[in-house]
Structure 1
């Protein structure tokens, strides 16, 4: 997986542009070491202050790197406009280049420190199984959590529940509510709290939970939704027929669907999945959890609900 940035870009992509040009392999080694434990860190950060601090330091380093990449792009463009030498030769001959190199070295030192700290705070590698022929689609609904052990999310929960209870005319038959935030902030937990809230339980004919993750396979997702709606195994082999069947069974029904951990950036895939869902009863809702602002904006028709890091006070609780 890639380390995600606030703007929806990824650390690996941003840094590759800069450090590949500087012929540096050090960054790739450090990124690889960090990526291997990132899943574990994201799961532990809410309960472990040291892990949360580690992730914050990583995030700030990412911001500094993005700033540096932006400056280099700007300087490269200026050189091109003014007819100056190519950026790489410019780097090797100017005082500005020395400053850039010093900042690169500082970023690498910080990343080295972050890599060293991962072992001290007990982060471990968490493997992710990938199977291209069988996308990971789970319809197991997460159990209701004891809210007494969840801190700092009351306002977020009320905001999502209020959207689920709302009948306001947004111009859309189905409201798509994006919950956006970096990994480990509690997007899934927040969605669970809203999904299981007593005020929501009796509003919908059907409630469905699907964990999407890496693969956004429209056929598999549509089939999973259809099986959930009908409570029957589906043997339809063609996507068009599958969508027609889902359209048919959703007519007259009001549903709540959670699409948890979405990574898909392809609007055509989202449009294809959503099309048969539009035939459900007005007031049906979809909650989407994602790390990317752009994905949330692409899928949602209400503003992104962006999760922030909880306060130190709530964290200590």
Structure 2
């Protein structure tokens, strides 16, 4: 079934999944954008026949537009078919590739690698299924992280983002306990006391929220830590990465696909699993 046919078919049916309906709407807009982009490419191809000048800048612009469009469609699909929340645990033996990417981000986390700022936000952006969460897990569990930071927390954010729930989850991560408070103010005071004078790392996985006001409300207690604190956020949405720049942010880390060799290893791992005898 073509993308346009999928959209038309979905619109004629009573779909109750709100995330799926939202994705179909985004996909519909993406189809229109794709048609506009194809028109631009056709126009550019015609102009090329009439001109012989260098078109590198135009080519790059069209490629960038196509990349953004693909990312938006994939991001919407990932949102529609929401996966279960991931924990910070990871089995290194089942991970292929990403050694280079892991070391690159660890260099950004190294307190000696950046200027003396209070907080740095590192957004990891890429289409669904590339391994953003796995990469964050590898980093979170690296022994060097425990040497660099006095305290750390992992929170899976999801679409139902609000400052109260995220703050509550962070506090429970920091304290390794359950908090029954129903006051955002009290939660933020406790986080402020927990972070005061300490160097911390926070990983926010699966971030969707683009509301600047929510992020402004969330960030308040983060300012009470020591210098060189780090926040890693994984998302497939470039707009989310931009909104996360509520504090000094290093350039967005764009995760690319695995190499062919690593893809083959990963496929073989899942396709040719030998079952253990009982």
Give the whole-Å Cα distance in 2 for the aligned partners of 1:64 and 1:155.
Answer: 35
| Contact map agreement 2:88 2:140 (CA 8 A) in 1 | no
Q: Is the aligned partner of 1:250 residue 2:195?
A: yes
* Equivalent residues of 1:223, 1:234 under 8 A apart: yes
Matches within 5 A, 1:47-196: 66-69=33-36, 141-147=87-93, 149-170=94-115, 172-196=117-141
CA RMSD of aligned residues (A): 3.5
Residue of 266, 269, 274 corresponding to 2:214: 269
Distance in 2 between residues matched to 1:127 and 1:315, nearest whole Å? 23
- Maintained 8 Å contact 2:116/2:228: no
TM-score normalized by structure 2? 0.65
Q: TM-score, normalised by structure 1?
A: 0.58
1:202 corresponds in structure 2 to: 147
CA contact (8 A) 1:250 1:280 kept: yes
For the pair 1:25 / 2:8, whether they are aligned, the reply is yes
Instruction: Give 1:206 deviation, angstroms.
Output: 1.3
Change in 2 beyond 3 A, CA 1:293/1:230: same
Q: Does structure 2 conserve the Cα–Cα contact (< 8 Å) formed by 1:297 and 1:303?
A: no
Gaps of 5+ in 2: 21-26, 41-79, 266-278
| C-alpha contact 2:107 2:113 (8 A) present in aligned 1 | no
Question: In the aligned structure 2, how far is the partner of 1:201 from the partner of 1:145?
Answer: 18
Shift of 1:291: 0.6
- What is residue 252 of structure 2 aligned with on the other side? 304
- In the aligned structure 2, how far is the partner of 1:160 from the partner of 1:214? 25
Task: Tell me by how many angstroms 1:272 deviates.
Answer: 1.1
CA distance in 1, matches of 2:175, 2:121: 22
Aligned match for 2:178, one of 215, 233, 239: 233
Please state whether the residue corresponding to 2:130 is helix, strand or coil: coil
Is it true that 1:224 corresponds to 2:191 in the alignment? Answer: no
Question: How many Å separate the matches in 2 of 1:27 and 1:174?
Answer: 44
* C-alpha distance 154-271 of structure 1, shift in aligned 2 (>3 A): same
Distance apart, 1:26 and its partner CA: 4.0
CA distances 1:155-186 after superposition (whole Å, capped 9, x unpaired) = 11111111111434557411111110011000
Distance in structure 1 (CA, Å) of the matches to 2:145 and 2:97: 21
What does residue 287 of structure 1 align with?
A: 232
Q: More displaced, 288-297 or 225-234?
A: 225-234
- Between the aligned partners of 2:39 and 2:114, the Cα distance in structure 1 is 46
Measured at CA, do residues 141 and 201 of structure 1 come closer, stay the same or move farther in structure 2, by a change above 3 Å? farther
Q: 3-state SS of the aligned residue for 2:214?
A: helix
Change (3 A) 1:29 1:172: farther
Please give the alpha-carbon distance, in whole angstroms, between the structure 2 residues aligned to 1:71 and 1:172: 44
Count of residues paired in the alignment = 211
Q: State the secondary structure of the residue aligned to 1:25.
A: helix
State the SS of the aligned residue for 1:272: helix
Aligned to 1:316: 264
Greater CA radius of gyration, 1 or 2? 1
* Distance in 1 (alpha carbons) for counterparts of 2:175 and 2:89: 22
